[in-house]
Structure 1
Amino acid sequence: MIDFYALLSNGITAALENEGSIDWFPCPRYDSPSIFSKILDKNGGSFTIRPLIEYFYKKEYVGNSLILKSEFKVKDGKRLQLIDFLPLSLPAIIRIYDSEIPFYAEVNPLFEYSLIKPGVQFLESGIIFTNPRSREGVEVLLNGSYTFEENKIIFNPGKGFLYLLYSKDLRYGLFSKKGFVYSRPYEALDKALRYWDSQISKAKKIRNFEKEYYRSLTVILGLTYNPSGGVIASPTTSLPEIVGKERNWDYRYVWVRDASYSAEALIRSGLYIRGRDILSFLTSMIDPSSKSFDHPFYSIDGTAPPAEEELTWLEGYKHSKPVRIGNGAYMQVQSDIEGAYMHGLYTYYKETKDEGFIKDVWWAVDAIANWVKNSWKDKSTDIWEQRGIYEHFVHTKVMDWVAVDRASKLAEMLGIETDWKKIADEIKEDVLANGYSEKTKSFVRYYGSEEVDAALLTLPLYNFISVNDPRFISTLQRIEKELSVSNSLLLRYKDDFLGEVSNPFTLVSTWLARVYIRLGKIDYAKNIINNLIECSTDLGLIAEHYERDTCYPMGNFPHLFPHSGLILALIELEEIK
């Protein structure tokens, strides 16, 4: 497994840390400018704690949490132990140490993605970093025996902590008269541990791949913005799909599709309220008088995300430019996302029989079904968000079918008469007539195409077609033959508007495993899951892509999609009689 970054999160923002260095920390929330951006530029600022001499390093999460425990061991066997976490509800980092050796800390925040250097003020008990262009700042409270030496803080052996807090206005910061209201480090650690345990303990128990199951649950919860229930696709921006290339995007927003998929995973795992919170966020985005979801994704508070722009002063991850914030896909019309939401809602009702919730959001069900009824014949972009390309994508048409099929089933359960079943039948007939090629003996990427894409694996997952249907079996064979890279890792497709693709998309492996579970080939499905897990990082985190042949994490990290897909695959594996 690859040694890579750990994710720290508290439900309002996140940090990435490895080997004692926190290299990414947006403040005050996930989609804010990062005060540490070393992951995107070697001079981007970081928060580092390390021994003064050569060491051996290892890390692990504390139980089923996103609280990180690190150990630095020097040659004589003495150790520096760190526990790093984000206290609940604060844009803060607490680092508790217990050390037998001297060590150093280096805190170098830079505002606006490293564009603005701070003013620095040293106090007897800490440091204040001030943005000269605003009232915001970063304060670091120090506890223990230490001295300041140039840009470093040298700590003597012992116990203590470093407490970093970002403040929008330093007049209300850690060293202000209001400072007494903020978390006390050891108490905050106890509360954070209790929080994670209280969340994860509610989940259904499974027998296979238990460790990976719980880790994936913590990732979904760690990507959820608790004040709204919106769940982001990833906590990072511009980690490239291919090193040195331009496939670099900002994923710190709530994609309707990804969020719906994660809601389904939480609901199926028994975390019904957390899954419903995501659905409630998405419901509040629905426009009943036009396209149900006007945009493919939203900011974490439900507002429009910023326009895409490039941060030209950052060199990019391993020199992969450009570094982008915002996302131009906001302008796309994606017609599959209503189906993703509706399937999540239908799954919630099937699992909970919460008729009151469905009745409360019936206006949204009605809006979606009627919008799809009137629009499903139109071209659209697809799940892969190719820019400027509109086609009759088969996966999108199937998700149109999902939208009205699930709406029809909900209406039937509630005793409401509609014509939605008829519309669903029309869509299905159209897909079977135009989305399947007699020439290639397979379903195709879009009407008139001869290509396949991995999204076709979802057809039996949504019960659009039987997994044993010869038309799907031949499609599966083509996908595995043409898109496989190695060890059950598959490409999404061969090429797109940016040219040829080369690195596998991790979500696809979970789809493939779920297909083989349905085919009754359980050992093969387990092998697919094992291969995906073997390619995950040392902490069990999964990136958007893996580098071909090396399994090195590529794309934004960690990624919501594969962790959600893995949960669904593991639950379906568990349900086999």
Structure 2
Amino acid sequence: MKFYAFLSNGLTSALERDGNIEWFPTPRFDSPSIFTKLLDQEGGSFSVLPDDEDYVVSSEYVEDSMILRTKFKTKRGQLELIDFLPLSLPAIIRIYNSEIPFVSDIKVFFDYGLIRPGVNVHRKGLIYKNPRSQEGVELELRGNYCIEDTKIKFKPGQGYLYLLYSKDLRYGLFSKKGEVYSKPYEALERTLTFWKNLIMRSRQITKLKRFEQFYRRSLSVILGLMYFPTGGLIASPTTSLPEIIGESRNWDYRYVWVRDASYGAEALIKAGLLSRARHVLNFLSSVVDPSSKSFDHPFYGIDGTSPPEEQELEWLRGFQNSRPVRIGNGAYMQVQNDIEGAYMHSLHLYYKESKDKQFLLDNWWAVEAIADWVSNSWYRKSTDIWEQRNVNEHFVHTKIMNWVALDRASKLAQDLGMEKWKDWRNVSEEIRSSVMEEGYSKELNSFVKYYGSQEIDSALLLLPLYGFIEATDPRFLGTLKRIETELAVSPGLFLRYRGDFMGEALNPFTLVTLWMARVYIRLGRTKEASNMLEVLQSCSTDLLLLGEHIEKGTCIPRGNFPHLFPTSGVVVTVRELEESLQDTHLT
């Protein structure tokens, strides 16, 4: 399935399809985009295309990097394009080698398509200035070209297009300071080396026997979703890509969700990239409130500040006319009590793998604050993992994550010789008893979505994944059977639930397939687990990227894209499958 390519440099990102860059928030992931065609056909873009309507186009990443190679083949010859975001700059560099004439069309708009720039021709290219500020975009051109309005016509040859955003054009690419900025060919070499070295540090990556390319690409995407200055892992680089075309399930995910980032940290730990995982955990520790709810908000800005309020951009038509287009996210008003457990699990896993006692001691204040808060609040109702608005219940998944928070905290305290582990362990057992009594239905022979409910929820697959119950326990097997039958859409694809506050759920949720595979691994059903991965890989894009959902019957990505949830799940699941098969072979 062809869809967008994802480009990143750890500061911001771009989405590109067939030579068209249609999304580029700058200077950061969460900034307004200067190309917004992704969300409105008139929203502006940056294209490079042959001067010939009859061509075939293909794209691939250069090795394990976030650098994209696109080839256009025509009867007259070929155009090859190398696109990337250079390290440390809010910039796009497009290096070309062409046997044929081609055209670049660039339409810049500021503030998500709202503000039209002033355009000036410079001896080196073009300048686009925001009339309301000093900010602007400069486009340096190299090659044999002529400028006609928004279009630049190139003759065959080699060269580049170098776009740089500047908060103040007085310090931009064409200023006296311009010499300090990256030189395109050198930037390409260093960017490629950076990404290759980063991925190759993943433990045993060359020893994977199954799903190696899926694994490697997923790992690079996780790293591409990290805001390098702080370690914040965003859930997705996009906003308002709809879960269902034509409906209003459109959200902004360009922030650091505690839960998603914790999943990402777990994947990095599983991959052996411990220093990168530590960077993520440092970010999460830095936003812990030691005197109140540990994580005041479900998500944070990429710099660790409080998240912005939700707004609607009424001037944008939306992806395939799916309105509204939103920035910010109203979920910041929710109280989600499961997220402390997600963080604590990843911290515990990091400590087990790294034996980094100093890091644990440095962050012990956060461990203690979280464990004490959970001990005193686990019995409260809250919003759940799915962030349903104005819905508060005793969600079983949330109670499980409260148990996880205290179970992991007690184990860490016990390892450090701190007596408080006993108190936390005692409360964790209270939570276990509560879930077994009120979160399990004997009549239905399954755990349920929330206390008193008869509904099933895919998040219940996490019970054995976090060690709350054995996968072989009859009570969980009854739960698994219900999920397999009631939430199945097609072989290997599942809904996360049947419906919510906005109505019926229609499209499969990609992460559920990976949870299911991990459960099967624990049941020794490795062939079925492998089949699950094959289904998801076949429903990924041609570049092996995953969205939050996939459209029923077509496998087209839906929801924000690419998404940290399933991408992290691929890394964890492939590692667990490999380890399970190795253990079986040794036995």
TM-score normalized with structure 1 length? 0.99
Q: Give the deviation of 1:133 after TM superposition.
A: 0.3
Amino acid across the alignment from 1:423: V
Q: 1:169 matched to which residue of 2? A: 168
AA at the equivalent of 2:221: V
Aligned length: 575
1:397 is aligned with what amino acid? K
1:387 equivalent in structure 2: 389
In 1, Cα distance between the equivalents of 2:373 and 2:74? 64
Residue 198 of structure 1 deviates from its aligned partner by 1.4
1:271-286 equivalent positions in 2, closer than 5 A? 271-286=273-288
Distance 1:537 1:422 in 2: 47
- SS of the counterpart of 2:158? strand
Task: Determine the C-alpha separation between the residues in 2 that align with 1:20 and 1:565.
Answer: 30
Match for residue 463 of structure 1 among 437, 444, 467: 467
- 1:257 aligns to what? 259
Equivalences for 1:49-448 in 2 at 5 Å?
Answer: 49-53=48-52, 54-76=54-76, 78-204=77-203, 205=205, 206-418=208-420, 419-448=423-452
Q: Percent identity?
A: 63
Aligned amino acid, residue 182 of structure 1: Y
Q: Distance in 2 between the 1:572 and 1:255 partners?
A: 24
CA apart distance, 1:441 = 0.9
Note the C-alpha offset of 1:440: 1.0
Q: Name which of 539, 546, 552 aligns with 2:550.
A: 546
Q: 1:78-123 CA distances to partner (integer Å, 9 max, x unpaired)?
A: 1000000000010000000000000000111100000000000011
How far is 1:305 from its partner?
1.6
Q: Pick the aligned partner of 1:521 from 519, 525, 530.
A: 525
Aligned to 1:541, the other structure's residue is in SS state coil
Partners of 1:349 and 1:45 in 2: how far apart? 47
Select which of 532, 539, 544 maps to 1:535.
539
Q: Which amino acid counterpart does residue 180 of structure 2 have in structure 1? A: V
Matched, 1:494 2:506: no
Match of 1:560, as an amino acid? L
Deviation track 1:108-146 (CA, whole Å, cap 9, x = no partner) reads 110000000000001121000000000000000000000
**Cα drift, residue 487 of structure 1:** 2.4
d(CA) in 2 for partners of 1:168 and 1:80? 33
Q: CA–CA distance in 1 between the matches of 2:75 and 2:47?
A: 21
Deviation string 1:163-186 (CA, Å, 9 cap, x unpaired) is 000000000000000000000000
Q: Classify the secondary structure of the residue corresponding to 2:408.
A: helix
Match of 1:451 in 2: 455
- Distance in 2 separating the partners of 1:343 and 1:540: 28
Q: How far did 1:306 drift? A: 1.2
Deviation at 1:197? Answer: 1.1
Shift of residue 150, structure 1, vs aligned partner: 3.0
CA deviations over 1:455-477 (Å, ceiling 9, x no partner):
00000000000000000001000
Secondary structure (helix, strand or coil) at the match of 1:279 reads helix
Shift of 1:559: 0.1
Structure-2 residue corresponding to 1:555: 559
Residue 31 of structure 2 aligns with which residue? 32
Instruction: Kindly provide the amino acid, as one letter, of the partner of residue 495 in structure 2.
Output: L
Partner Cα distance (1:303, 1:150) in 2? 41
Aligned residue type for 2:431 = I
Q: CA deviation at 1:326?
A: 0.1
Residue 6 of structure 2 corresponds to residue 7 of structure 1: yes
Amino acid aligned to 2:404: V
Look up the equivalent residue of 2:488 and give its one-letter code: S
CA distance in 1, matches of 2:554, 2:58: 21
Could you tell me how far apart the structure 2 residues matched to 1:50 and 1:487 are? 39
**Aligned residue identity for 1:439:** E
Distance of 2:150 and 2:242 partners within structure 1 = 31
SS state of the match for residue 59, structure 2?
strand
How far apart, in 2, do the equivalents of 1:169 and 1:490 lie? 48
Cα distance between partner residues in 1 of 2:526 and 2:496: 23
1:334-386: per-residue Cα shift (whole Å, max 9, x none)? Answer: 00000000000000011111111101100100000000000000001000000
Deviation of the 1:438 alpha carbon: 1.2
Distance, in Å, in 1 between the alignment partners of 2:125 and 2:462 is 54
Task: Quote the residue 1:575 is aligned against.
Answer: 579
Give the deviation of 1:149 after TM superposition: 2.2
Q: Distance in 2 between matches of 1:264 and 1:58?
A: 33
Q: 2: distance between equivalents of 1:133 and 1:125?
A: 24
Structure 2 CA distance for aligned equivalents of residues 332 and 305 of structure 1: 12
| Separation (CA, whole Å) in 2 of partners of 1:311 and 1:275 | 35
Taking the aligned partners of 1:357 and 1:87, their CA distance within structure 2 comes to 32
**What is the alpha-carbon distance in structure 1 between the residues aligned to residue 153 and residue 326 of structure 2?**
36
Q: Distance in 1 between matches of 2:253 and 2:518?
A: 26
Unaligned runs of 5+ in 1: none
Q: Which aligned segments of 4 or more residues in structure 1 are displaced greater than 6 angstroms?
A: none
Distance in 1 between the 2:326 and 2:546 partners? Answer: 22
1:439 Cα deviation (Å)? 1.6
Distance 1:384 1:256 in 2: 13
- Inter-partner Cα distance in structure 2 for 1:174 and 1:425: 61
Q: Deviations over 1:420-476 (max 9, x none)?
A: 111111100100100001121100000000000000000000000000000000100
SS in 1 for 2:119: strand
Separation of aligned partners in 1, 2:142 and 2:358: 51
CA shift, 1:268, in A, is: 1.1
CA distance in 2, matches of 1:485, 1:110: 41
Q: What SS does the corresponding residue of 2:58 show, helix, strand or coil?
A: strand
Q: Which amino acid aligns with 1:35?
A: I
Instruction: Give the superposition deviation at 1:208.
Output: 1.4
- Structure 2 stretches of 5 or more lacking a match? none
